[in-house]
Amino acid sequence: VVLLTPVGDENARTNALVLLGAYLIFVESWDCSQVVDVIGACDAERRFVCSWARLERPEPQRNMMVKDCWAGFEFLHRQGWFDDTCLTTDVGTDLVCSMLSNWAAMYDASWIIPGY
């Protein structure tokens, strides 16, 4: 797997790291600690901007880390709540990506960030 992001685009890198971890967990059956060990603590501890941050105000503290997403993916995988066979074909992967994009536009998962 080769994953490239635009040079200097830290947000794109953070999002790409989440997707790379998802691939390793769902397709390669890694656990979160393996992903952290290989990708590194620095990238695993990147934090997301609060989704309701406003440009005219100072940015609130960032809480959710990339490795939190990976831990959630590992939990889904371990519990069998996500049928990862849909990721084995281009059609299935496109469907999952489309559904996730729609959900992201409709719902705000940031309300469940632990410790916020």
Say yes or no to pLDDT of 115 above 70. Answer: no
pTM recorded for the entire structure: 0.76
Other Cβ atoms less than 10 A from the Cβ of 25: the count is 26
pLDDT tens sequence across 11-32: 889 989 998 999 899 889 999 9
Q: Following CA atoms 68, 65, 63, 93 in sequence, which dihedral angle do they give, to the nearest 10 degrees?
A: -70
pLDDT value of residue 107: 59
Provide the residue type at 40 as one letter: G
pLDDT value of residue 106: 65
> Cα–Cα–Cα angle for 86, 89, 92, nearest 5°?
45
pLDDT tens sequence across 59-100: 767 788 999 999 999 998 898 888 888 888 889 888 877 877
Say yes or no to pLDDT of 33 above 70. Answer: yes
Phi, psi at 75, each rounded to 5°:
-60, -45
Q: Is the dihedral of CA 8, 12, 15, 16 positive or negative?
A: negative
Q: How far is it, in rounded angstroms, from Cα 33 to Cα 23?
A: 14
Helix (H) or strand (E) holding 72: helix 66-79
Q: Quickly state the pLDDT bin for 109 (edges 50, 70, 90).
A: low
pLDDT value of residue 28: 92
